[in-house]
Amino acid sequence: MTVRKKLVPVLCCLMAGPFFLNAQDKIHFGKISPADFEVKAPSFDPAADAVVIADVGSSEFVGNNKGWFTLDFKHFKRVKILNKKGFEAANEEILLYTDGETVDGLKAATYNLEGGKVVETRLDDKSVFTDKLNKYLSVKKFTFPALKEGSIIEFTYTEHSQYLRNLQPWAFQGEYPSLYSEYQVSIPNFFQYVTLSQGFLPFDVKTDYPRHVNFRVTIPGGADRDETVNFDDDVVDHKWAMKNVPSLKPERYTTTVNNYISKIEFQLARYAFPHSMTKDMMGNWLTVSQGLMKLEDFGADLHSNNGWMDEVIKTITRGAVSPTDKAKKIYTYVRDNYTCTDHSSLYCTGPIKTVFKNRNGNEAEINLLLVAMLNHEHLMADPVILSTRSHGFTNELYPLLSRFNYVVGRVVIDSSVLYLDASEPWIGFGHLPERCYNGHARVITREMPLPVYFDADSIMEKKLTTVFVSNVGKGVIDARVQSVPGYFESCNIREKIHDKSEKDFFKTIQTAYQGEPEIANVSIDSLTLTDQPVGVNYDVMLKNDTNEEVIYFNPMLEEGYKENPFKAADRKYPVEMPYGFDETYILNMEIPEGYVVDEIPKSTKVTFNEDEGFFEYLIVKDDSNIQFRSRVVLKKANFRPEDYATLRDFFAFVVKKQGEQIVFKKKK
């Protein structure tokens, strides 16, 4: 399925006109021959489930009868379905603003080759559905009929938009390989856009051609006669095209592939009509920040008197002995008494007084309420806008608010700066969820909006697991496991227990062990102390057949890496882990009664990129005991594509080494 969002490019966008795959071949809607079915998975993407044969589009400004301009966006796309997994490519959605955007000329068809002849099945108009998402947005949906393995599908439509800010973006790359992708945009000189491009693939075509155009705009006269205005101006036809574009699919440790697919998007910067004053449309961070602080859906009430809070805050802060203590009490109250309904919002849906009363809201509403309550107590608090890791990067240079989808709070107390998110019940004071660590963010104030950076490289998760293995006799080994995970893993544990139960949590641990283990004496320390990591403790009873001549024992038990998280041969975009980490595992073990050590793994230590990490595997024994330590350290979270092979090899070594076993042999 492909979904087109405003200013967020995805797979498809375009026009129903001719274009060239090579010097001779033209493609038009409805012109299908038996030879077209010979398309197979391309050599550069042999595992593809579908192939985009052509994806072509255009955007053009047209004078309308409302005294202004309309953006006409034309879209043509043809796809070959290779197998059933590719059926998802036959689901299409067109996202529209309910007021001001329409679609016409929608045609779609499925073609199948039967007995050497092309059989066409057209999409029935009654099979096109429109769903209203909210008061602003609706989505037009359709699924291609008569779909089979080997089908060719295609569609075309024209979208008319009154919103000139929404000059359609274009993605040349997506989840299926594309043989040809082209986008043409005709921009008059009086509309000036910033063009933002990204991706690792070069353009096969990138041209700009100026031409002179006559525009016709009709100005409604109301009770009087309409007035038609004709004027000339220069237009630049921009054209971009790519051939043989490989698919780009999410791999492990990827925030979102939208950060790396080859795409172009646009932001309206200004109007510059002849003989008129230039009108700035984009603004700068100061003007945008000031606008947000005046907006009722964002900052208008943050510094108001808000007397309706008086009695509640008086009760909340009773006994506070310092500004930090007061801030913490307010934060804890909001976190523990308000339910978050959505974690991807930039604006409020109503007054924060309503949120205060109803005790629920999206994360923006909850955190803006928190900021307002802190300001009520004369603490220096401001909202911070950011984009979560799955939403994509923001742009530090241009104030593109569509790139932001999340709000947290900041409070400054003496020389300390604390960032707060009260939307999650397991996040402690002064901490943010890992989803927030996505680079550039912006503190919103009336005076000086400041950039801040929440980088995953700045986080180091430390985990210590200690195991004491003792003999019980009769072939039973008793292991006492004590683990103190890092802060974010502790948050995940709190969330799991919150959603299910502590019993279910330990049941999951038990099922991870092979055989028929018994888990006993379970406990979790600091479960309600959200500023601290938890402590997980339990005993596990492992049974061995006392008649076995040889016992194989992995000192890692069920900890460690079971498989390499990096399996692809190469990678075109960065590796983005949520944090750096330092994981230490220590085991002290009594040699099983009646056995001696026959084989033991060798100790070793390897480094990663000299000083960016290491893996340590140390093991020693005497006549009755074994002491073992494994430590894996990566000092940062983000790695360049050129580091991928080294990172893959590093983890391959870790997996192999942590899988080695001690061999015990029965005494003669």
CATH of residue 167's domain is 2.60.40.3140
pLDDT at 546: 66
Check residue 534 and give left, alpha or beta (phi > 0: left; psi -120 to 50: alpha): beta
Residue 366's SS3 state is helix
With beta carbons less than 8 A apart as the criterion, state whether 584 and 466 touch: no
Supply 285's token pair: 């961070």
Question: What is the pairing mode between strands 476-484 and 460-473?
Answer: antiparallel
Flag whether 130 is in a domain.
Answer: yes
Q: What is the mean pLDDT of residues 9-33?
A: 52
Domain end (from 280, 299, 327): 280
- Whether residue 96 is found in the same domain as residue 50: yes
Flag whether 29 is in a domain.
Answer: no
Supply 473's token pair: 């006799």
Flag whether 240 is in a domain.
Answer: yes
Checking if the pLDDT of 468 tops 50, the result is yes
> How far apart, in whole angstroms, are the C-alpha atoms of residue 453 and residue 501?
36
Residue 519's SS3 state is strand
Q: pLDDT for 344-356, tens place per residue?
A: 999 999 999 999 9
Checking if the pLDDT of 11 tops 70, the result is no
pLDDT at 180: 97
Sorting pLDDT into bands at 50, 70 and 90, what band is 660?
Answer: very high
Checking if the pLDDT of 221 tops 80, the result is no
- Whether residue 631 is found in the same domain as residue 532: yes
Checking if the pLDDT of 223 tops 80, the result is no
Q: What is the mean pLDDT of residues 620-642?
A: 96
- Whether residue 334 is found in the same domain as residue 262: no
Longest CA pairwise span in the chain (Å) = 112
Supply 96's token pair: 């529209």
Q: What is the mean pLDDT of residues 192-207?
A: 95
Close Cβ partners of 146 (under 8 Å, ≥ 6 residues apart):
110, 112, 119, 121
Q: Which of 8-12, 429-433, 488-492 has the lowest mean pLDDT?
A: 8-12
> CA-CA distances (angstroms) from residue 618 to 335, 488, 582, 605, 653?
44, 27, 16, 8, 15
Degrees to nearest 5, angle at CA 535 with 530 and 536: 125
- Whether residue 481 is found in the same domain as residue 581: yes
- Whether residue 514 is found in the same domain as residue 601: yes
> How far apart, in whole angstroms, are the C-alpha atoms of residue 528 and residue 627?
34
With beta carbons less than 8 A apart as the criterion, state whether 257 and 573 touch: yes
- Give kind and range of the element (H or E) at residue 293: helix 285-294
In DSSP notation, 623-662 reads SSEEEEEEEEEES-SEE-GGGHHHHHHHHHHHHHHHT--E
* N-terminal to C-terminal alpha carbon distance within the chain: 66
What's CA 471's distance to the chain center, in Å?
48
Rounded to two decimals, what is the model's pTM? Answer: 0.88
> How far apart, in whole angstroms, are the C-alpha atoms of residue 384 and residue 396?
14
Q: pLDDT for 159-177, tens place per residue?
A: 999 999 889 999 999 999 9
pLDDT at 83: 97
pLDDT at 54: 97
- Whether residue 475 is found in the same domain as residue 590: yes
- Whether residue 439 is found in the same domain as residue 296: yes
In DSSP notation, 310-362 reads HHHHHHHTTT--SHHHHHHHHHHHHHHH-EES-S--SS-SS-HHHHHHHTEE-
> How far apart, in whole angstroms, are the C-alpha atoms of residue 593 and residue 28?
79
Flag whether 45 is in a domain.
Answer: yes
Domain end (from 280, 309, 340): 280
Q: What is the mean pLDDT of residues 608-635?
A: 96
Flag whether 30 is in a domain.
Answer: no
Flag whether 626 is in a domain.
Answer: yes
Question: What is the pairing mode between strands 535-543 and 518-525?
Answer: antiparallel
Close Cβ partners of 273 (under 8 Å, ≥ 6 residues apart):
190
**Nearest residue to 366 (alpha-carbon basis) of 390, 388, 342:** 342
Tell me the residue type at 256. T
Flag whether 113 is in a domain.
Answer: yes
Q: pLDDT for 522-541, tens place per residue?
A: 999 999 999 999 999 999 99
Flag whether 34 is in a domain.
Answer: no
Q: Report the C-alpha dihedral over residues 170, 175, 178, 181, rounded to 10 degrees.
A: 0
Phi/psi of residue 32, nearest 5 degrees: -120, 135
- Whether residue 319 is found in the same domain as residue 358: yes
**Nearest residue to 356 (alpha-carbon basis) of 399, 304, 398, 312:** 312
Helix locations, 60-106, DSSP H: none
Q: What is the mean pLDDT of residues 232-251?
A: 94
Domain region containing 323: 286-454
Mean pLDDT of the chain: 92
- Whether residue 314 is found in the same domain as residue 437: yes
As a whole-number percent, the residues of the chain with pLDDT over 70 amount to 95
Sorting pLDDT into bands at 50, 70 and 90, what band is 3?
Answer: very low
Checking if the pLDDT of 109 tops 50, the result is yes
> CA-CA distances (angstroms) from residue 164 to 61, 101, 268, 312, 580?
9, 11, 7, 46, 43
Sorting pLDDT into bands at 50, 70 and 90, what band is 25?
Answer: low
Q: pLDDT for 35-91, tens place per residue?
A: 999 999 999 999 999 999 999 999 999 998 888 899 999 999 999 999 999 999 999
CATH number of the CATH domain containing 300: 3.10.620.30
pLDDT at 18: 36
Tell me the residue type at 498. H
pLDDT at 293: 96
pLDDT at 22: 43
Sorting pLDDT into bands at 50, 70 and 90, what band is 317?
Answer: very high
**Nearest residue to 244 (alpha-carbon basis) of 4, 48, 28:** 48
Q: What is the mean pLDDT of residues 649-657?
A: 97
Domain end (from 236, 254, 280): 280
CA atoms within 13 A on the CB side of 463: 22
**Nearest residue to 559 (alpha-carbon basis) of 591, 602, 597, 512:** 512
- Whether residue 271 is found in the same domain as residue 311: no
- Whether residue 194 is found in the same domain as residue 303: no
Check residue 175 and give left, alpha or beta (phi > 0: left; psi -120 to 50: alpha): alpha
In DSSP notation, 524-548 reads EETTT-TTS--EEEEEEEEE--TT-
The total number of structural domains that make up the chain = 3
pLDDT at 668: 80
Sorting pLDDT into bands at 50, 70 and 90, what band is 9?
Answer: very low
Sorting pLDDT into bands at 50, 70 and 90, what band is 135?
Answer: confident
Residue 199's SS3 state is coil
Degrees to nearest 5, angle at CA 328 with 325 and 332: 140
pLDDT at 206: 97
| Positive or negative torsion for Cα 480, 486, 489, 491 | positive
Query: Three-state SS string across 271-283, please?
Result: ECCCCCCCEECCC
Question: What is the pairing mode between strands 550-553 and 662-666?
Answer: antiparallel
Checking if the pLDDT of 565 tops 90, the result is yes
pLDDT at 21: 45
Tracing tokens 């205005």 back to the chain, one arrives at 229
What's the Rg (C-alpha) of the chain?
31
With beta carbons less than 8 A apart as the criterion, state whether 227 and 221 touch: yes
Q: What is the mean pLDDT of residues 486-497?
A: 96
In DSSP notation, 370-423 reads HHHHHHHTT-EEEEEEE--TTT----SSS--GGG--EEEEEEEETTEEEEE-TT
- Whether residue 149 is found in the same domain as residue 15: yes
Check residue 582 and give left, alpha or beta (phi > 0: left; psi -120 to 50: alpha): beta
Close Cβ partners of 125 (under 8 Å, ≥ 6 residues apart):
none
> How far apart, in whole angstroms, are the C-alpha atoms of residue 599 and residue 103?
72
